[in-house]
Structure 1
Amino acid sequence: MMKKYITYLLLFGFPLFGCQSKVAENSTYQQNWMQLEKENKALAFDADIQLSESEITLDKKLFQIRKDFLANTEKQKISLYNSSFDQLKPLIEGSTLFEILQLMPKGGLLHTHSGGITDAKWVIATARKYKECYVYDQADTKDFIFGQLGFFEEGKVPRGFVSLNKKLSSQPGFEKQLTELLLLKRESLCTYSDYWIEFEKRFTRISLLLPYRPFFKEYYKKGFEDLVENKVQHVEIRYVFDELYDFKHGKYPLETSVTDLQDVVKEIQKQHPEFSLKLIYSSFKFLDPKSIEKQLEIAFKLKKEFPNVISGFDLVADEAAGNSIYSFREDWAKLDELSKKYGVKMPLFLHAGESVSVFNKNIIDISSLDNPRIGHGLNLIYFPKTMELIRKQNKLVEVSPISNQVLGYVSDLRNHPARILLSNGVQCSINSDDPSVYGYNGLGYDFWVAFVYWELDVKALKKLVFNSIHYSSLNENEKKQSLVYLNKEWDGFVQKMNGKLK
C-alpha cells in the first residue's frame, strides 16, 4: 500500500508542486513588474496631479480621438513621423484634436522673442500702409539683404530701397515672395543645411521695422491679441532693447519701450483683464564679457525703474557659434553686487542646451546659477547628474518642439528629449519660440505635436499648462490671481469638451 502511495505521489504530486512553484514565480514577477511601473509613474513630472471624474472622462475621449486619428493617417499612408511641420501643418489644422487644443486654456507663454510673435502677412500688410516704408530689392550686400524692410524719411532713403507699396502694386507676385522670405520652412527632414543662417535673416528683414514707434505699438498689439485669442493669458518675451524713434521727435530713451508696452497691455486688458506681460532683458552670446557687464548694468537700471515688468536676463543666439555661459562667469559673479547696488534681484533665464552635442556644456552652468528656467535644454539628457540636480532644484525647462524641428535639432518628434525629461520628473512647459517665423500663431500647434508625438494624456496637459503660471516670473499676488482665472478656465474647458465630444 505504501509503495502504491509513493507511485501516485511521483506521478501526480510533483507536477502539482511544480505548478505551485510556477504560480509563485509568476506572482513574484507580476509584483515586481507592478512595483516598477508604480515607481516609474511616481517619478514622472505630473505625478502630483489627481484628475477629477470629468477630467478622466475627457482623457478617455481624447485618447480615442488620437487613436482614431493615427489609424486614419496610417490607412491613408500619411508619413506622420517623417514629415516636417510645414508638411504636416494642413493635416494638423484639419484635425478634431487641433480644434480642441485651440480652445484649451494654455496659461502662459514663457519663451518667445521680440520680432517673432506676429503673423508675417500682417507685418507686410501693415507696413505697406506707411508711405515711409521701403523694401530692399537688390542683391545682398554687407549692409542690407534682399527683402529687408525699413522706414526712412523722404530724401534719406538708402540706395537699393524702393517704396514697399509701389513695389507690391507694380509686382503682384512680390508679396508672396516677400512673405516666403519672412518665413522659415524646413522643406525636408533628410536634407541638411545651416538653418540658423536663414533663421537670422528673417529677423534682419524686419529689424528696421520694429524700432519705428508707430509700427512698434501696432505690432505688439496684434501679437498680444493673437495670444489672447489662442487662450494665452500671460506672456514673457525675451526682449532685445533698442531705442524707439519716429521722424517727428527722433530717438526715444530705452524706457519708452517699456511704457509703450505697458500702454498696449492696458488696452488689451480693457477686454481681457487677465492678460499680463513680463520682459526678460536679452543680449547676445557672441558679445564679450566686458560688453555683457555693460548690458547687465543697463538691465538692472531698467529693472529698478520697472520692477514689475523686467523679470530677468538672458543671452540669445546660436549656441554653436556664440560664447559659452561659463565664459561669462565673472559677470555672473557680480550679480549679487549689482543687486545690492540697485536694490533689485536679477534672476537669469538663460538659453542653454539648444544643441544635440555632448561637447556643448552650457547646461552644466545652470545648476550653479540663479536660473529658475532653462531655454530649450535639449542636451540636458546627456548630463544625468545635472539633470538630477535640476530636478531636485525644481527648475523648469522651456520646451519648444516645433522650433526644435524647424531648426534641425529633432527630426522625428517622437524622439524629442523632452519625453525623457518628463519621465524623469524634470518640470517643463510648452512654448512657441518664434511662431511668426515658422508660419503660425499661438500655442495650439506646439501642444498638438506634444500630445500626439509624446503620447500625452490630460494629466500631462494639465501639468504643462499650470506649470506655465507656477514657474512664471509673476509675483506671488499676480500668480495667485492668474491661477484663479486659469482654474476657472480649465474647469470650463473640461465641462464644455465633455458636452461637445461623444
Structure 2
Amino acid sequence: MEVSICRAVATLVPLLWLVGAAGGMPVPAQRDLLMREEASRQTGGRVALTVAEQKLAARLHRLKEQEMSAARFPPAMHFFKAKPLIQRSSIFKLLQKMPKGAALHIHGSSLVGVEWLVRNVTYRPHCYICFTWDNSVRFLFSDRQPFPRWDCFYWQLLATLRAKVGDPTSFDNSLMQRLTLFTEDPDAEYPDQDVVWEKFEEAFIAAAGLITHAPVLRDYFYQGLEELRQDNVMYLELRSGISKTYELDGTIHDKVWTLKTFQEVTKKFTADHPDFLGARVILSVHRALSVSEVKAAVQEAIQLQKSFPDVVAGFDMVGREDSGRPLWYFREALSLPAQLGATLPYFFHAGETDEEGTDVDQNILDALLFNTTRIGHGYALAHHPLAKELSRKKGVAVELCPISNQVLKLVSDLRNHPAAVLMSEGHPMVISSDDPSLFGTTGLSYDFYQAFVGIGGLKANLGTLKELAVNSIRYSSLPAHLKDAGRAMWQNQWDAFIADNS
C-alpha cells in the first residue's frame, strides 16, 4: 500500500507542474496525459489486457454505447421495470457467462429463488399455511394440526387448500408475491423507505417456516449453491443468524447442528462440482437486540468459530440501520473479543443510509474503529473523506449491492449512486446481491450489470469487470492458500470465457 501511495505522489508532482505550466492554450499531449492518468485510477484502470481481452473490451464498449443511447436506459429505471430490458441486453448475456468469482454479501433467508420454495417446498407433505390479520403468510411443517401461535390462529394443510383452489397456478403466484418485494408499480406500492422496509422484513418472516424445517434446510443450502454456480459464481460467504431448525415432530436443533449441516452440504456440493470453491458463514444478529443479548451472541460466535474454523468467517449486525441502534451503542459487546484475547473478524453493515450527519451515519467510522474486514453496502462512504481514506489504506473493501440500494429507495437512478465516485477512484470494492430472492434475481449477473453499465458508466470496461471479480477472492475471508487456489481456478474459467467470446 505504501508503494502505491509513493507512486501516486510521484505521478502527481509532474502532473501538477504540467497543469500549472500550461499558460495559454494547452496542447493536446497535455490533455491526453491527464485523461490517461485519470482513467488509470478508476477500478480496473491499471489492469493490463491481452490482445483477446482488448478485442472483447472493444465489443463491450460498442454495446454499452448503444445501450446508453437507448430511449429506455435500464439503470435509470426501477429494477422491477428494468428487469425485462436487462434480460434482453447483449451485455447482460455476456455477464451471465463471465466468471464472477465470489458472492460475499448474501443473506441466508434470501439465498434461493422463491419459485423453488413455492413449487418445490410448499408441495411437500405436512406443510401447513396460515394467513395473518395483515394478509401475510406463515408456513409450518408438522405431523399434526399446529397449535395457534404468533398471529396465526388457524393453520390449514396447504395441499388441502390448494386442492380447493380453482387455479393452483394463480395461487402459487400469489404465494410467491408474498415472499418477494416485486410489484408492477413499485413507486406507488413503496412510497418511502419505511413502507418498503416493512414489506422487506415481513417477507423474511414469511419464508422462515419453510427454510428452517430441517429436511428443507439441507436442500435449500444445496439449491442456493447450485443457483450461484449456474451464474458462474464459485464461492459464497453467507450472512446468517443460523436459526434453530425443527423436525416434523417439533424437535428443535441447535446452531451447532445447523453449522454441521451447512458444512456437510458444502462438502457434498464441492465434491459434486469441483469447479466450485466452497462456502462460509458470517454469523449475524439483529441490531434491535439489547447490549447484553449482543454480548451473548459475540461470545457464542467466538466459540462457534473455534469449533468450525473452516466454516465460520466472522460476525455482523444486520437489520435496517436507520431504525436500529448504531454500532457505537454496542461497543461493550463488540469489544469482547479483544478483551478475551480472542479473534473474531467483523464484517459490518455500515453506511446503508442517506441520513447524512446522524448517529447512524457514523457507523462507517465506527465499523473501521472496530477493525471491520469489509463494509457492507457503504452507501454513505463517499460523504466521509476520512473513512474513505482509512478504508483504502487498510484494504477494507466495500460490498456494493446496487439493486438492493435502489429497491430499498436509497437511490432511484443508479447513475447517481455514490459508488460512482468510489469506482472512479479505484476504491477497494466487490459486487454482491444482498437479498436476491426478494428482488427477483439469482447469482450476481444483474448486480454486475447495474454496476458496470449504470454506476461505472462508459468509462467502466473489461478491466473493471476483471478487477471486480478478482477483488471478490482477494477480499474474501479465505486463508491465503485457498485464495491462491481460488484465483487459479478463477483464472482458468476467465481464460475460457475470453476464448469463447473474443
- TM-score of the aligned structures, taking structure 2 as reference length: 0.88
Task: Tell me how far 1:189 sits from its aligned partner.
Answer: 4.5
CA shift digits 1:49-78 (9 cap, x unpaired): 21111111110011112222334x32xxx3
Aligned to 1:20: none
Aligned to 1:139: 133
Within-5 A mapping of 1:270-349: 270-273=271-274, 274-340=276-342, 345-349=343-347
1:151 aligns with 2:148: no
Q: Aligned partners of 1:24 and 1:97: how far apart in 2?
A: 40
Task: Tell me how far 1:32 sits from its aligned partner.
Answer: 4.9
SS in structure 1 at match of 2:120 = helix
Task: Tell me how far 1:27 sits from its aligned partner.
Answer: 5.9
Aligned in 2, Cα 1:68/1:31: closer, same or farther, shift over 3 Å?
closer
CA shift digits 1:311-341 (9 cap, x unpaired): 110000000011001111122222213344x
Structure 1 stretch displaced more, 181-190 or 448-457: 181-190
Q: Is the 8 A contact 1:300 1:338 kept in 2?
A: no
SS in structure 2 at match of 1:209 = helix
Q: Is the 8 A contact 1:398 1:429 kept in 2?
A: yes
Q: Aligned partners of 1:24 and 1:95: how far apart in 2?
A: 44
Aligned to 2:93: 99
Aligned to 1:393: 394
Q: Is the 8 A contact 2:146 2:155 kept in 1?
A: no
Aligned in 2, Cα 1:297/1:321: closer, same or farther, shift over 3 Å?
same
- Computing the radius of gyration from Cα coordinates, the structure with the larger value is 1
Q: Aligned partners of 2:250 and 2:376: how far apart in 1?
A: 37
Aligned in 2, Cα 1:42/1:452: closer, same or farther, shift over 3 Å?
closer
1:165 aligns with 2:155: no
Q: Is the 8 A contact 2:44 2:465 kept in 1?
A: no
Q: How many residues align?
A: 464
Amino acid of the residue matched to residue 205 of structure 1?
A
Aligned to 2:267: 266
Within-5 A mapping of 1:183-262: 183-185=180-182, 187-189=185-187, 192-193=191-192, 194-248=195-249, 250-262=251-263
1:481 aligns with 2:485: yes
Amino acid of the residue matched to residue 185 of structure 1?
F
Counterpart pick for 1:472 among 468, 471, 476: 476
Aligned to 2:173: 176
Task: Tell me how far 1:46 sits from its aligned partner.
Answer: 2.7
Aligned in 2, Cα 1:363/1:24: closer, same or farther, shift over 3 Å?
closer
Task: Tell me how far 1:205 sits from its aligned partner.
Answer: 0.4
Q: Aligned partners of 1:153 and 1:249: how far apart in 2?
A: 9
Aligned to 1:14: none
SS in structure 1 at match of 2:429 = strand
Q: Aligned partners of 2:124 and 2:75: how far apart in 1?
A: 44
* Identity between Structure 1 and Structure 2 (%): 31
Q: Aligned partners of 1:152 and 1:251: how far apart in 2?
A: 12
- TM-score of the aligned structures, taking structure 1 as reference length: 0.88
Q: Is the 8 A contact 1:265 1:275 kept in 2?
A: no
CA shift digits 1:129-181 (9 cap, x unpaired): 322211113423xxxx6222222331334332211122222222321211111
Q: 5+ residue gaps in structure 2?
A: 1-20
Q: Is the 8 A contact 2:80 2:186 kept in 1?
A: no
Q: Aligned partners of 1:189 and 1:236: how far apart in 2?
A: 32
Amino acid of the residue matched to residue 412 of structure 1?
D
Amino acid of the residue matched to residue 131 of structure 2?
D
Counterpart pick for 2:354 among 344, 356, 366: 356
Aligned in 2, Cα 1:34/1:27: closer, same or farther, shift over 3 Å?
farther
Within-5 A mapping of 1:374-385: 374-385=375-386
- The two structures, once aligned, show a CA RMSD in angstroms of 2.0
Q: Is the 8 A contact 2:283 2:312 kept in 1?
A: yes
CA shift digits 1:382-428 (9 cap, x unpaired): 11121111111111000000111111011001111111111123111
Aligned to 2:11: none
Q: Is the 8 A contact 2:374 2:398 kept in 1?
A: yes
1:45 aligns with 2:43: yes
Within-5 A mapping of 1:344-493: 345-358=343-356, 359=358, 360-453=361-454, 454-455=456-457, 456-493=460-497
Q: Aligned partners of 1:374 and 1:161: how far apart in 2?
A: 41
Task: Tell me how far 1:82 sits from its aligned partner.
Answer: 4.1
Q: Aligned partners of 1:206 and 1:135: how far apart in 2?
A: 11
CA shift digits 1:25-66 (9 cap, x unpaired): 556464553444344234333344211111111100111122
Q: 5+ residue gaps in structure 1?
A: 1-22
SS in structure 2 at match of 1:44 = coil
Structure 1 stretch displaced more, 310-319 or 359-368: 359-368
Aligned in 2, Cα 1:242/1:233: closer, same or farther, shift over 3 Å?
same
Aligned to 1:89: 83
Q: Aligned partners of 1:363 and 1:426: how far apart in 2?
A: 15
Aligned to 1:8: none
Counterpart pick for 1:494 among 491, 494, 498: 498
Aligned in 2, Cα 1:249/1:477: closer, same or farther, shift over 3 Å?
farther
Aligned in 2, Cα 1:169/1:249: closer, same or farther, shift over 3 Å?
closer
CA shift digits 1:181-214 (9 cap, x unpaired): 1110363447623210010010010112222100
Aligned to 1:4: none
Task: Tell me how far 1:372 sits from its aligned partner.
Answer: 1.6
